[in-house]
Structures are given as structure tokens and as C-alpha cells.
């Protein structure tokens, strides 16, 4: 077996366990194992031969034994046994928006449906609407989800999967003698939320040695094509990667051309034509047949067109060229601007570390303050806190705040569930005791737009709710999340001073960039938080910052860049009644 087959089996086991209704921790163990193997930059057979399977994050002795079984026999007995109880075709149904594990189990047990094709037929024949909790609208949504799946498939991967793989490959290519520059290109360099394939760009006088090294990398399964300056490979996890190599004198045009976007590049080429030039990855070429004009940097490319440098995250033809011409490009928020994180979890709910350990890890990652925001009681699968446990946690948070000294603050908060009926998990008198209050959706995401929006608006209108986390509850690349009326949500947030979160976890990136852009225009304050459950997830900040940049956000728009006292004053202002403001 190859890496991708191990990933697929572990992912399918996790989904089947979820359909069966197993404990969440067991399901998450298999999901984490699949993610770790997918991100592994080596052939898992080699890792096994070295006796280092348990060095892979999330792989203990039990899962290592299962990997060994797969690699040595080509099968997994546990999966085969599980498949006798949970038909494997049910897993495919989970890819349909609006179908969670419980609903899939209901459809199977009630209608004996075991495949996506059977589900499609049943929905078209009106057989789903009479199931408990269903109706004609739910049935229509399922049909729409099936149609969307057929149109788009699921070939894209999240930014968080593609980015570390690309960086590891670039690190290897930079070691090749003669390489003077190396970077990612395409949608990955523009930091789009999902990636179809990876573009790698290298500056070197001789392409041959670079492409030889590229084709020999440990995570390459097969070479799909090779030419004088380009090589295509398929990785062990199934991702396609293209490498292009040109001399350093052409680096600027190479990098610019293969960063895109297509629409951005079309406008640049139109501008070049107006100046009597053609533009491609190699150079500017005068239309009258003169000598090529080489650009060693991207700044030279833009300067030749009469433009300032435009950051890659803005290159989507959404007004960036016009803003550049007018001298109105925003000074985008940067990773160095972020001072604290307002959303994370500990062992009190579903996190991996204690309050003090998590706070120390945040400090070690360069932050100056955190808010501890464990889940509330309604999210039982995450061991959510009751009022009693929340108050017990307060003492531990205050102790951690004192232990870390005056230069690092630990605030006490909650990630409170917005229930399906729109009510909140904690009463106002409990929320008033906390430093920072988050409200969020995790369940009931398939409700109508009106219902889901009303739930979020109820939370925004509560004076004790400081922030709405990952507003739609989406999970990339497969779950679209709640169908919110974002215009209404943004307007309410602007009116009340409620912060909206960009959740930096690459499986969320919610708010999405287009909503960030609108929020910035409306004066809504944004927070960039990691939602970290373990220390390594603090590194996800870069994905949240990139999403903010794609939404044209400046440091002033992002509350995590403010002095902490300024933020605390801002959220306290919301809690005062209008007459007292």
C-alpha cells in the first residue's frame, strides 16, 4: 500500500465509526492518523521499515500495528469487519452537503439505502421527506447537494494540506547547487482556501539537476511528464505538482506569470500591450521586434507597467489593479502584527493540554495574551462545560494568569453554543463573569437560511457576546456550513460592535475572504484566531492572516493587533446599555 491508500482506509474507518455512533475520541484518533499520514513527506513503507511509525504525530502502538497490517497484507481486518456492519457505500453519502453521520444512519436503517445512487433515486421519488426530521425542503437540499458533488467533485485539498508539503519540497530543491531562488506559485501562493495542484518555481541557470532532484524526492510516486524547463509529478497522496525552472534573470516574470490569477494576468498583459509590449513568463518583448526586457524581480514587472508591487494575496482581479493605479492599495495586516489569540481549548473540554500548558505554548509561539475558551455544555461530544465547571475553571485560569507574570495575560472565556432554537447555553449573569465570550454554531447547520441567520443574530444582539466564531461552521473542502444571510450578519455586527472571527484552522478559514472584504468595508471588527486544541496549531495563524489579507484587511481592522487594554475597553463598551455609552 501507498500513503494515499492508508489515508483512505483510516478516513473511511473514521467515517464508518461516526455513522455507527462510536465515541468521538475514537473517531478523532483515526481522523488525526489519516491527516498525519497525508501530510507525511516520505513513503510510509520506508518509515515502517525504519521502525518509526510511532514517530508520526497521532500514531501510537495500536494504530502503528494497523498500518503494519495494511503495508504487509494489503488489507485491514478491522475495516473488513466494520464493513459487514456499516456498508462502505454509506461513507460516500457523507460527502453530500446536509447529510451527517446520524442522518446517513437513519436513511440506511429505515430505507435500507446503501449507495449514493440509491439515495439519489429515493430522493427523486420523494421517499426521504417522510423520515422523522425531514421534509420536502430537506429532500430538495439533498438533491442539490448530490448535484453539486457531481459538478465539483472533491479533488481539491485544503491550504493546510498543500502548504507544508510544498514548503518541504522547496527546502529540498533549495539545496541543489545553482539554485538562487525558489517559491510556490499559483493558487497556493495566493493562499486560496483550497488547492487543486501545487506549482513550484525555481531560479537556476541549469534546469536538469533541479528536475532530477525533484523527481527523486521521497514523496513522489510517479513522474507524469518532463520537458526542458518543466516537470510534472504525482505525489504519494495523489496531489499533482508542477515544477518550472528558469534562469535568475527571468525570475520576476516567471514568478508573476505562474502566481496568477488568470484574470489578474490578463489585465497585466493588456497593460503591457498598450505600452507596445507582450508579457509572458520569460520576459517583456517589444512588439516591434526589439530585444527582450528581462525582470529579475516582481517589483520590476509591476514597475515596467507603471504599478506598485501588488501582494500575491490580492491578485484576483477584484479591483487591486485599479487601487494600485490610484495609490490606494491597503497596508495589509501581517503575521507580525498579531499580539494575542482569543479562541483555544484545553483539557477542560476537547483540548490536549491544561490551561497553564496551553498558555505557555501560546507565549512560546510569540503571543502576549490568550483567552481560554472551552466549549459549553450543549456540545456534549466535546465535553462542554456546565456552569459549575466553568466557574471551577475560573480559578485555574486566574492561577495561570498569575503564574505567567505581568507580561503575559490569560483571560477566561467560553466558546458558547448557539442552540438549534437560537437560545444560548449560558444565562447573562454567567456571561457577565467572563473576560471574553464567544458564540458559535456547531449543530443544526442544515437549517433554513432564515432559521440559521436568526440564531446568529440572537447571539450578536446579546450585549455579553463579544465575538461570533467561524460564523458558518463550514469544514473544507466538503462541508459548506450554515446558509447564513451574511449581509444581515455583517450589518448586525457593525451595529452592535460584535467581533467576527476568521478561524485560522485550514479546515475552516471562516469568515471566508469575500466576507472579510465586505466586513472591512462596513467597519466590522475582525479577529484572527487559531481555535487551537494543541500547541502546534498556533502555527495556523499564518492561514488566518492570509485570509484577512485576501479580504483587504489592515492591522487596524483586526482586534488581535490592538493593545490588549484597548480591546477590553472595546468589548466592555458593547456590554453597557445604549443610554450609558
Q: What is the DSSP string of 457-523?
A: HHHHHSTT--EE-STT--BTTTB------HHHHHHHHHHHT-EEEEE-STTT-BS-HHHHHHHHHHT
Taking the C-alpha atoms of residue 103 and residue 110, their distance in angstroms, rounded to an integer, is 10
Instruction: Output the average pLDDT for the chain.
Output: 92
Give the bridge partners for 341, in sequence order.
370
> Rounded to 5 degrees, what are φ and ψ at 344?
-160, 165
When comparing pLDDT for 1 and 537, which is higher? 537
pLDDT tens for 264-288 read 999 999 999 999 999 999 999 999 9
Establish how many alpha carbons lie within 13 A of residue 436's alpha carbon, considering only the half-sphere containing its beta carbon. Answer: 32
Tell the residue number behind the cell numbers 465570550, with chain if given: 437
Hey, what's the cell of 219? 514523496
pLDDT at 98: 66
Q: SS3 for 234?
A: strand
pLDDT number for residue 155: 61
Residue 581 pLDDT > 50: no
Residue entry with cell 513527506: 41
User: CA 446, CA 103: separation in Å to the nearest integer?
Assistant: 11
Q: Is the pLDDT of residue 152 over 50?
A: no
- Residue whose C-alpha cell reads 492572516 in the numeric block: 545
Q: Is the pLDDT of residue 235 over 90?
A: no
Q: What is the largest CA-CA distance in the chain?
A: 79
* Mean pLDDT across 380-396: 94
The predicted-structure confidence for 176-215, as pLDDT tens digits, reads as follows 999 999 999 999 999 999 898 899 999 999 999 999 999 9
Residue 579 confidence (pLDDT): 45
Q: What is the mean pLDDT of residues 474-492?
A: 86
Under DSSP, the state recorded for 384 is: P
Higher pLDDT, 579 or 203: 203
**At CA 28, angle to CA 25 and CA 33, rounded to 5?**
130
Q: Are 474 and 480 in contact (CB under 8 A)?
A: yes
3-state DSSP assignment of residue 204: strand
How would you write 128-141 as a 3-class SS string?
CCCCCCCCHHHHHH
Is the pLDDT assigned to residue 153 strictly greater than 60? Answer: no
pLDDT confidence of residue 19: 92
Tell me how many degrees the CA angle 39-40-46 measures, rounded to the nearest 5.
160
Percent of residues, the chain, with pLDDT higher than 70: 97
Kindly report the backbone phi and psi dihedral angles of residue 197, in degrees, each rounded to the nearest multiple of 5, phi listed first. -150, 175
Q: What is the predicted pLDDT for the residue at 144?
A: 77
Q: Residue range 481-508: average pLDDT?
A: 94
Return the C-alpha cell found at 171.
Answer: 527546502
Q: What is the mean pLDDT of residues 434-463?
A: 94
Domains in the chain and their CATH numbers? 3-152 (1.10.150.110), 157-246 (3.30.460.10), 261-307 (3.30.210.10), 335-343+378-399+413-576 (3.20.20.140)
Which among 15-24, 157-166, 343-352 has the top mean pLDDT?
Answer: 343-352
* Nine cell digits for residue 311: 501582494
Output the pLDDT for position 239.
83
pLDDT of residue 408: 97
| Under 8 Å between Cβ of 525 and 559 | yes
Residue 11 predicted with pLDDT over 80:
yes
Predicted confidence band of residue 536 (pLDDT cuts 50, 70, 90): very high
In this predicted structure, the answer to whether residue 387 has a pLDDT above a threshold of 50 is: yes
Q: How far is CA 310 from CA 183, 184, 293, 513, in A?
A: 17, 16, 20, 17
Residue 479 has pLDDT above 80, yes or no: no
Determine contact, residues 383/25, Cβ cutoff 8 Å.
Answer: no
Amino acid at each position: 500500500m501507498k500513503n494515499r491508500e492508508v489515508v483512505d482506509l483510516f478516513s473511511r474507518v473514521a467515517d464508518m465509526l461516526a455513522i455507527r455512533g462510536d465515541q468521538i475520541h475514537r473517531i478523532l484518533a483515526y481522523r488525526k492518523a489519516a491527516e498525519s499520514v497525508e501530510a507525511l513527506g516520505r513513503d510510509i513503507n520506508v518509515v515502517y521499515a525504519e521502525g518509526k511509525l510511532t514517530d508520526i504525530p497521532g500514531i501510537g502502538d495500536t494504530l502503528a500495528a494497523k498500518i503494519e497490517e495494511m503495508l504487509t497484507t494489503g488489507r485491514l481486518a478491522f475495516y473488513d469487519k466494520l464493513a459487514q456492519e456499516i456498508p462502505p457505500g454509506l461513507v460516500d453519502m457523507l460527502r453530500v452537503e446536509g447529510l451527517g453521520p446520524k442522518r446517513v444512519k437513519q436513511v440506511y436503517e429505515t430505507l435500507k439505502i446503501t449507495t449514493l445512487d440509491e439515495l439519489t433515486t429515493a430522493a427523486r421519488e420523494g421517499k426521504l421527506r417522510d423520515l422523522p426530521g425531514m421534509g420536502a425542503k430537506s429532500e430538495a437540499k439533498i438533491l442539490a447537494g448530490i448535484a453539486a458533488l457531481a459538478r465539483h467533485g472533491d479533488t481539491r485539498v485544503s491550504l493546510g494540506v498543500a502548504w507544508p508539503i510544498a514548503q518541504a519540497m522547496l527546502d529540498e530543491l533549495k539545496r541543489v547547487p545553482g539554485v538562487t531562488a525558489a517559491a510556490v506559485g499559483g493558487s497556493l501562493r495566493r493562499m486560496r482556501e483550497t488547492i487543486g495542484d501545487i506549482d513550484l518555481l525555481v531560479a537556476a541557470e541549469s534546469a536538469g539537476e533541479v528536475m532530477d532532484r525533484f523527481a527523486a524526492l521521497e514523496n513522489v510516486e510517479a513522474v507524469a511528464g518532463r520537458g526542458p524547463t518543466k516537470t510534472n509529478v504525482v505525489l504519494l497522496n495523489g496531489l499533482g505538482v508542477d515544477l518550472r525552472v528558469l534562469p535568475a534573470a527571468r525570475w520576476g516574470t516567471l514568478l508573476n506569470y505562474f502566481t496568477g490569477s488568470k484574470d489578474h494576468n490578463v489585465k497585466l498583459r493588456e497593460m503591457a500591450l498598450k505600452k507596445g509590449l507582450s508579457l509572458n513568463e520569460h520576459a517583456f518583448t517589444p512588439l516591434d521586434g526589439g530585444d527582450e526586457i528581462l525582470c529579475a524581480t516582481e517589483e520590476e514587472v509591476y514597475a515596467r507597467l507603471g504599478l506598485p508591487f501588488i501582494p500575491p494575496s490580492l491578485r484576483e482581479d477584484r479591483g487591486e489593479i485599479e487601487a494600485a493605479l490610484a495609490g490606494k492599495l491597503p497596508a495589509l495586516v501581517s503575521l507580525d502584527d498579531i499580539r494575542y489569540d482569543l479562541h483555544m481549548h484545553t483539557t477542560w473540554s476537547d483540548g490536549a493540554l491544561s490551561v497553564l500548558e496551553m498558555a505557555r505554548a501560546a507565549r512560546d509561539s510569540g503571543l502576549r495574551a490568550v483567552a481560554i475558551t472551552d466549549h459549553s455544555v450543549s456540545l456534549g461530544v466535546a465535553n462542554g462545560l456546565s456552569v459549575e465547571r466553568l466557574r471551577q475553571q475560573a480559578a485555574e485560569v486566574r492561577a495561570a494568569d498569575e503564574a505567567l507574570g505581568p507580561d503575559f495575560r490569560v483571560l477566561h472565556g467560553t466558546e458558547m453554543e448557539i442552540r438549534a432554537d437560537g437560545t444560548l447555553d449560558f444565562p447573562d449573569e454567567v456571561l457577565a463573569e467572563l473576560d471574553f465570550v464567544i458564540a458559535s454554531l456547531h449543530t443544526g447547520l442544515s437549517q433554513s437560511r432564515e432559521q440559521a441567520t436568526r440564531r446568529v443574530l440572537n447571539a450578536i444582539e446579546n450585549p455579553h457576546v463579544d465575538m461570533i466564531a467561524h460564523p458558518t461552521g463550514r469544514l473544507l473542502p466538503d462541508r459548506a456550513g450554515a446558509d447564513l444571510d451574511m449581509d444581515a450578519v455583517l450589518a448586525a455586527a457593525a451595529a452592535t460592535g460584535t467581533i467576527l472571527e476568521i478561524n485560522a484552522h485550514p479546515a475552516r478559514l471562516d469568515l471566508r475572504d469575500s466576507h472579510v472584504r465586505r466586513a472591512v468595508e462596513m467597519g466590522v471588527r475582525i479577529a484572527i484566531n487559531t481555535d487551537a486544541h494543541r500547541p502546534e496549531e498556533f502555527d495556523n495563524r499564518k492561514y488566518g492572516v492570509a485570509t484577512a489579507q485576501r479580504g483587504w484587511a489592515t492591522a487596524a481592522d483586526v482586534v488581535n493587533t490592538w493593545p490588549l487594554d484597548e480591546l477590553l475597553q472595546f468589548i466592555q463598551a458593547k456590554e453597557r446599555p445604549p443610554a450609558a455609552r
